[in-house]
Amino acid sequence: MLKLGVNIDHVATLREARYRGRGSGEPDPLAAALICEQAGAHGITAHLREDRRHIQDRDIWRLRESIRTRLNLEMTNTPEIVEIALRLKPDIVCLVPERRQEVTTEGGLDAAGQEASLTELRKRMNDRGTEVSLFIAPDPRQVEAAARIGSQFIELHTGAFAEHFMVAANRERELERLVSAARQAHKLGVKVNAGHGLNYENLPTLHAVPHLVELNIGHSIVSRAVFAGLAAAVKDMLALMRDYRG
């Protein structure tokens, strides 16, 4: 069964737009995570960025204490974030590249160029009982490096697939890259996740990629929730107003 990890970063983004610098505010990422679990999600993903633009430290600790499914912490390999992860002990960490200017993670990790440091970090995380995934492009060199590093998973960056989805020839080219990378990883004994830019339109096509364990999806789910849940939210507010007598 293909599993779903729901990324709740965008819930925190909405909160921070209004309540940045405060110790509380709405919407609450933890409440969102619990709703996702109740709806059947197999895991919750959150990215603790160095600049804390959305998920805050308090969020990840509350998630660790409260959710019952798998906590996937997306993170960069920097001393501060690494120390937090070692104390947090999430079920899995997904190592990603991070640039302050980007809106979202724009590319895959250069695992081949960072083998030594990533191997050391992988060992430290595994020693704490945390599995390690590397967020990489579907590139043979990067898949080989992930296997040498000893990561339990790779997460294939599906951004190019999503970006080129509307042009048939480009879509097929990107899909074949994902298929090839998944087969290569499976042959090397590395489990395969995927994510980035996946939505309700392009996901069925991704079924052609073999050996997938879990998809991590956030923005598309949160975007649909704005509309799928908006009518109910308006009705709930109107219900609270009915008894007003002026």
* Residues catalogued as catalytic: 47, 74, 196
3-state secondary structure of 44: strand
- List phi, psi (to 5°) of 144: -60, -40
Burial of 204 (0-12, 13-18, 19+ CB in 10 A): exposed
- List phi, psi (to 5°) of 6: -95, 125
Whole-number CA gyration radius for the chain = 19
* Residue 65 near residue 89 (C-beta atoms within 8 A): no
3-state secondary structure of 196: coil
Rounded CA-CA distance 147/122 in Å is 11
Rounded CA-CA distance 116/11 in Å is 35
* Residue 210 near residue 194 (C-beta atoms within 8 A): no
CA-closest candidate to residue 109, choices 118, 96, 120: 96
